[in-house]
Copies of this chain bind each other. A is one copy, B any other.
Amino acid sequence: MRSYGQYCSISRALDVVGDRWTLLIIRELLLQGSCRYTDLKNGLPGIAANLLSNRLRELEQAGLIGREDAPPPVATTLYRLTDDGLALEPALKALGLWGLRYMPIVRPEDAFRAQWLAYAPAWFVTDAEPDTPPVTIQLISSGEHAVLEVGAGQVDSRIGETADPDLILDGPPHTVLGLLTGVITLEQAVQLGLTTRGRRDILTRLQPTT
């Protein structure tokens, strides 16, 4: 990217990560951890193959990511964030928190991935009842699955399914995420197509970051 040519830490940051797609590549590496080219491409629907290659090379030169050879069975290249790359997490969180205001806008053609279903509650929601026994919530949306573990004041998440969750939330992405992040009420979510099964009462534990 062409430098802004300004002695300011914001413009210096954007000199490095201000290019199109760059911060989303960092996002995927944060969410997925060490992963392959194909995993990245899959987590970045819409990116061109050559652009992903270019960005990975640039990010490696900038020292934000590293490549390593995967263990024998697979024998491919794995990409992972360096410490400098990991240090972008607070910036991505702040940007994502700001972006929540646009999540009620529905664009049916938008792509959706399980890891995006998982990270939003983990990053933007806390457990308001730390002394109550932990509970598990199964999230289902657009065929993507994620599991929330709510307890000890924390909300943890992972992609996938769990047996015997305390609550199942199933509906279009904007209903599940809108409910969890506090931009719509349970009644509105149900109206918009959310179905629930299990202990609806535990939803009161979820406290969105403001």
Q: Is the CB of B9 within 8 A of A24?
A: no
Chain B residues, Cβ within 8 Å of A111: 5-7
Chain B residues, Cβ within 8 Å of A107: 3, 5, 7
The quantity of this chain's copies bound in the complex is: 2
How close is A2's CB to chain B, nearest CB, in angstroms? 8
A9–B94 Cα distance when bound, in Å, is: 10
Chain B residues, Cβ within 8 Å of A87: 98, 101
**Pick from B20, B88, B102: contact of A98, CB under 8 Å:** B88
Q: A interface, by DSSP: helix, strand, loop or mixed?
A: helix
Binding site for B on A (CB under 8 A): 3-16, 18, 20, 23-24, 27, 45-46, 84, 87-88, 90-103, 105, 107, 109-113, 116, 120, 173-174
For the A-B complex with A8-B96, A12-B102 known, give 5 more contacts whose Cβ atoms are closer than 8 Å. Answer: A6-B46, A6-B113, A8-B113, A11-B24, A14-B99
